[in-house]
Amino acid sequence: MDETGLHRQAANHWPISPLSFLQRTAQVYPEYRAVVHGPHSMTWGELDVSARRLAAGLMARGIGKGDVVAILSPNTPAFVQAAFGVPLTGAVLLTLNTRLDPGTLGYCLEHGEAKMVLVDAELLPRLHDALGHMHYRPSVVRIDDPLGPSGGDADALFPDLFAADPAPHLLPDDEWQSFSLSYTSGTTGRPKGVVYSHRGVAMTAISNALDWALPHHPRYLWTLPMFHCMGWCFPYTIAMTAGANVCLRAVSADAMEAAFRDHDVSHFCGAPIVMQMAIEAAERLGGKSVKMMTAAAPPPAPVIQRAEAAGIHVTHVYGLTETYGPCVVSAWKQVWDGEDDDSRAKRKARQGVAYALQDRISVRDPDTMEETPRDGETIGEIMISGNIVMKGYLKDPAATETAFRGGMFHTGDLAVRHTDGYVEIKDRAKDIIISGGENISSIELEDALYAHPAVASAAVVAIPDEKWGERPCAFVELSADAEADEDELKAFVAGRVAGYKKLARIIFEPLPKTSTGKVQKFALRERARSL
């Protein structure tokens, strides 16, 4: 075919960016509610103007392309505004985990070279502690949420950033331009900075809608932290579908019940712990027809059964920080509707198949890179390639090359593939514990235990938990003539790690080891499951 004259130009090719979703929705549905926060609300027209005023104000303060602006905040309207306003300047939004200890927060800010931090007043004391771990001081801007605490020392207030005149809708020249920065949970030492592109965020946002069959104008409850993988890119999914972002500062059964009742919530996301709260909320209301997307550790089949009995329709997804959150979905087939409750729940607990705009998920032998047979038995490593994979790790080309070896992203998760192509995780090669949607490093907890003078040997594995999905369980050998009980060691570790990483149990018994002295964690996992 002669393609003379068929070239890429402004008339037929624009860079893909999730920022275009805001522009379109503000033009088409300006009067529709975009943000709901208790008695406060904002339309899409108002959100569009405020985001562009924020962008103009940031640019007036010297923020521009490639700069990093961090945010440390619960799920509030300010976070939604920043999710659009910061990228509109060409800058990169660094979303900080609100549960991190000050030392780790300081590391993420310094490693990411943040020039400014937007911080909710409630978290301002922790940020000031984090600044003490840094070699420079970014500008601190305090957010006073009307439904939260206010006050505290800062360089400026959030409203001070908003210029009188909004900036124009600025889209990137290149869709590969960096959009946001998220840090892993530090499962192998220091957290890694995962860089997202405009293209990747847009692809994830679109796939969220496609693979969840999201309708126009959903009422989406923010039970998933917006800081987590850029909120799984749902700020942009909701913009694309002209939905309403129903914000929650703190997630509880009471808060969810009120949101279900007052705002007629249609969709929400979260870990198994959030499912438990939602079940309680829905049961109090006598049932509530609502759709939930859940990830992390597979929810136990009985929990899924109870959720569906309460009217909560569950979709299980899988992903990592490196894949913008979910990129694999347990896609449902109508033929399964007639199966018994236990069979349907087990199918829903599988990780599933690739998102529509991902490309490929496979289970492979990590040494040969050969795909494992689809027999539901042969274990291999989950590997992913496609549009919904990070640009790479910030300032760590060696780790990026290792993660992408063989042309696939290596997740480190071990799984089987069933005859229908659906993937099911069987183990985690990196010994990550997923509790309440958060990754916990067994190594970090072991290091904390080893710091106690009475501990001779320690190993930490996951123990199943119906509420949290998983919780950490430690096996400990004490030094000769040393004494320490479970409460003492739990308190000792709790003083050295973030609150969500606390040990659930400590078992005092000899650790099974190989002839070379390596702890056999597979045996401990079996032991933990029998407790």
Q: At what angle do helices 77-88 and 19-28 cross, to 10 degrees?
A: 110
Distance, CA of 251 to CA of 248 (rounded, Å): 6
What's the chain's Rg over C-alpha atoms? 23
Q: Which of 404, 391, 399 is nearest to 179 (CA)?
A: 391
Identify the pLDDT of residue 433. Answer: 83
For the chain, count helices (H), then strands (E). Answer: 16, 26
Q: Which residues of 376-394 are buried (b: 16+ CB within 10 A; e: fewer)?
A: eeeebbbbbbbbbbbbbbb
What contacts 254, CB < 8 A, 6 or more positions away? 281
CB-based contact 433:398 (threshold 8 Å): no
Q: What is the dihedral of CA 162, 163, 165, 169, to 10 degrees?
A: -60
Q: What H or E segment, with its residue span, contains residue 441? A: strand 438-441
What contacts 307, CB < 8 A, 6 or more positions away? 275, 278, 279, 282, 292, 299, 314
CA angle 371-377-381, nearest 5°?
40
Identify the pLDDT of residue 465. Answer: 86
Q: Which residues of 453-470 are buried (b: 16+ CB within 10 A; e: fewer)?
A: ebbebbbbbbbebeebbb
Q: Which residue has the tokens 């999201």?
A: 214
Architecture of the domain delimited by 432-529: 2-Layer Sandwich (3.30)
Give, in order, the Cα–Cα distances in Å from 8 to each of 11, 14, 177, 293, 395: 8, 9, 19, 38, 33
CB-based contact 95:232 (threshold 8 Å): no
Query: What is the largest distance, in Å, between two alpha-carbon atoms of the chain?
Result: 85
Distance, CA of 384 to CA of 328 (rounded, Å): 9
248-273 pLDDT tens trace: 999 999 999 999 999 999 999 998 77
157-213 pLDDT tens trace: 999 999 999 999 989 999 999 999 999 875 446 899 999 999 999 999 999 999 999
Identify the pLDDT of residue 515. Answer: 39
Q: What residues does each domain of the chain span?
A: 19-250, 432-529
Identify the pLDDT of residue 136. Answer: 96
Distance, CA of 37 to CA of 320 (rounded, Å): 29
- Residue 519 tokens read as 């702890």
- Residue 427 tokens read as 């183990």
**Which three-class secondary structure state does DSSP give residue 279?**
helix
Q: How many residues does the chain have?
A: 531
Q: Which long-range contacts (CB under 8 A, 24 or more apart) does 331-340 make?
A: 331/211
**Which three-class secondary structure state does DSSP give residue 213?**
coil
Distance, CA of 262 to CA of 221 (rounded, Å): 12
* Distance from the Cα of residue 225 to its chain's centroid: 7
State residue 91 phi and psi, 5-degree precision: -80, 170
Assigned CATH for 19-250: 3.40.50.12780
* Distance from the Cα of residue 304 to its chain's centroid: 21
Identify the pLDDT of residue 517. Answer: 47
- Residue 204 tokens read as 């994830």
Identify the pLDDT of residue 300. Answer: 60
**10-residue block means of pLDDT along the chain (531 residues)?**
90 95 98 97 98 98 97 98 98 95 95 98 97 96 96 97 95 96 75 97 97 97 96 98 97 96 96 86 94 76 81 93 95 90 79 92 93 90 96 97 96 89 76 78 80 87 87 90 91 90 92 63 84 78
Distance, CA of 229 to CA of 413 (rounded, Å): 18
Sign of the alpha-carbon dihedral angle for 471, 477, 482, 483:
positive
CB-based contact 198:19 (threshold 8 Å): yes
- Residue 417 tokens read as 């593939």
Q: Which residue has the tokens 């005023």?
A: 53
Arithmetic mean of pLDDT over the chain: 91
Identify the pLDDT of residue 262. Answer: 95
